[in-house]
Chain A
Amino acid sequence: MADPRSAAAAAADEGAVALVGRELGKTFTDRSGSELVALSAVDFEVRRGELVTLVGPSGCGKSTLLNLVGGLLDRSGGTLAFEGSEIDRPRPEIGMMFQAPVLFPWRTALDNTLLPIDIRRQKRALHKARALDLLELVGLSSFADNYPNELSGGMQQRVALARLLLQDPELLLLDEPFGALDEFTREDMNLMLLDIWASTRKTAMLVTHNIQEAIFLADRVFVMSPRPGRLVEIISVDLPRPRTIAMMRAPEFQDMVFEVRKILGAL
Chain B
Amino acid sequence: MTGEVRGRRLAQLLLLVTLLGLWQLAAALDVASDRLLTGPHEVGNALLLLLGRGYFYENLWATLRVIGLGMGIALAGGVGLALAIGMVPLVRDGVYPFVVALNILPKVALVPLITISMGYSYNSRIVVVVLAAFFPMFINTLVALREAQEPRDRLMRSLGATRRQRLRMHVLPEGAPVIFAGIKLSLTVAFISAILAEFLIQRDGLAYLITAFRIAMNTEMMYAVTVAVAGLGMVMYLAVDRLERWIVHWEPSDRPTEVGAHG
Q: Which residues of A pack against B, CB within 8 Å? A: 70-72, 90-92, 94-96, 98, 100, 102, 104-106, 115-116, 118-120, 147, 149, 167
What band does the interface of chain B fall in when counting residues whose beta carbon is under 8 Å from A?
Answer: 20 to 34
In the bound complex, residues from chain A placing their C-beta under 8 Å from that of B257 are none
B156 within 8 Å of A by Cβ?
A: yes
Complex Cα gap A98–B155 (Å): 8
A70 adjacent to B250 (CB under 8 Å): no
A92-B160, A149-B250 are known; give 12 further A-B pairs, CB within 8 A: A72-B154, A91-B160, A96-B154, A100-B151, A102-B155, A105-B250, A105-B252, A105-B253, A106-B250, A118-B169, A119-B169, A147-B251
Q: Kindly state the separation between the CA atoms of A149 and B160 in the bound complex, as whole angstroms.
A: 26
Scoring B residues 221 to 263 as 1 if CB is less than 8 Å from chain A, else 0, what string do you get? 0000000000000000000000000001111110000000000
Q: A147-B250, A147-B251, A149-B251 are in contact. Are A104 and B173 (CB under 8 A)?
A: yes
Give the interface of B toward A (CB within 8 A). Answer: 151-152, 154-161, 165, 169-170, 173-174, 248-253
Q: Which of A71, A91, A92, A119 contacts B156 (CB 8 A)?
A: A119
Q: In the complex, what residue of chain A is closest to B170 when comparing beta carbons?
A: A104
For the complex formed, measure the closest distance between the CB of A98 and the CB atoms of chain B, giving whole angstroms. Answer: 6
Do B151 and A102 touch across chains, with their CB atoms under 8 A apart? yes
- Bound CA–CA A105/B254 (angstroms): 12
A and B contact pairs by CB, cutoff 8 A, 12 listed: A70-B158, A72-B154, A90-B159, A91-B160, A96-B155, A104-B169, A104-B174, A106-B249, A115-B159, A116-B159, A119-B159, A149-B251
* A119 lies within 8 A of B161 (CB): yes
- A102–B158 CA distance with the chains assembled, in angstroms: 12
**Set of chain A residues within 8 Å of B158, measured between Cβ atoms:** 70-72, 90, 94-96
Report how many A-B pairs have Cβ atoms within 8 Å.
54
Question: Are B154 and A98 in touch, CB under 8 angstroms?
Answer: yes
Q: Known: A147-B250, A149-B251. Contact between A72 and B157, CB under 8 A?
A: yes
CA A222 to CA B159, docked complex, whole Å = 26
A150 and B251 CA atoms in complex are apart in Å by 10
4 shortest interchain CB distances as A-B pairs: A106-B250, A96-B158, A102-B155, A105-B250
Contact A104-B152, Cβ < 8 Å, known A147-B251, A149-B251:
yes
- Most chain A beta carbons < 10 A, residue from B159, B248, B249, B252: B159
Q: Which residues of B contact A119 (CB under 8 A)?
A: 156, 159-161, 165, 169
CB contacts (< 8 Å) of B248 on chain A: these are 106
Residue in B152, B158, B250 with the greatest tally of chain A CB atoms within 10 Å: B158
- In the assembled complex, the Cα of A105 lies from the Cα of B156 at a distance in Å of 14
| A105 / chain B contacts, CB cutoff of 8 Å | 250-253
Point out which of A72, A96, A102 has the most chain B C-beta atoms below 10 A from its C-beta.
A102
Least CB separation from B159: chain A residue: A119
A167 engages B152 (CB within 8 Å) = no
Residues of A within 8 A of B151 (CB): 98, 100, 102
Considering the complex, give the chain B residue whose CB is closest to the CB of A100: B151
**With a CB–CB cut-off of 8 A, which chain A residues contact B155?**
96, 98, 102
Task: With both chains docked as a complex, state the minimum distance between the C-beta of A159 and any C-beta of chain B, in angstroms.
Answer: 12
Which residues of A have CB within 8 Å of B249? 106
B167 to chain A, nearest CB (A): 13
Q: Return chain A residues, CB-CB under 8 Å to B170.
A: 104
